Each structure stands twice: as C-alpha cells, then as structure tokens.
Amino acid sequence: MKKEIFIGMLVGLIANAVGLILTATLLGRGDDFTTVIKAAAAEGFLGKLISLGAVLNLISFFIFIRRKEDYRARGVLLVTVFIAVFTFLFKML
C-alpha cells in the first residue's frame, strides 16, 4: 500500500514538473525555461504558473481511478494538495 502511494506521489511530481515546463514554454514566447521562471518570480505570477503545471495531475489522477489503482490516485492527490498549499503559502509571503 505505501509503495503504491509513493508511486502515485512520484507520478504526481513528475506530471507537475512536466506541466510546469510545458506551461513555461507555451507562455514564455520563445524564451528559455529559466528566463521565464525568473520573470514569473519577479512579476509575481510564479504561483499561478505552478498551479497551471498541476493540471497534468488531473489527467494522471483520472487514469489511475479508471484503472482501479486507488492508492496511486491517492498519492497523486496528496501531491496536488501539497502543491496547492505550497502555492497558497508562496502567494502569502
């Protein structure tokens, strides 16, 4: 059970990272990833960029639910909640 939750968390982190890279690439207008992240941090919308990156977690969550892999889906959900709390705290500071 713990292994399945860990696998789900790992998938959630990877999906979020890939989503963040895709979002930064699409919204970056041709700039490289680090430039987009630095500009987002300077302009105050890095939290929104991270939240948009978490959209891929939704896809992986529903894939795990459809395949009846509930513990992996729980791991993805845990990572998504962690990202939401992190984004909220980042926005408040």
pLDDT at 29: 80
Gyration radius of the chain over CA positions: 14
**Could you read off the pLDDT tens digit of each residue along the chain, which spans 93 residues?**
899 999 999 999 999 999 999 988 888 887 888 898 898 888 888 888 888 888 999 999 999 999 999 999 999 999 999 999 988 888 887
pLDDT at 85: 92
pLDDT at 93: 76
pLDDT at 82: 94
Convert the chain into a string of H (helix), E (strand) and C (coil). CHHHHHHHHHHHHHHHHHHHHHHHHHHCCCCCHHHHHHHHHHHCCHHHHHHHHCHHHHHHHHHHHHCCCHHHHHHHHHHHHHHHHHHHHHHHC
Structure tokens given for 14: 């990877």
In this prediction the pTM is 0.86
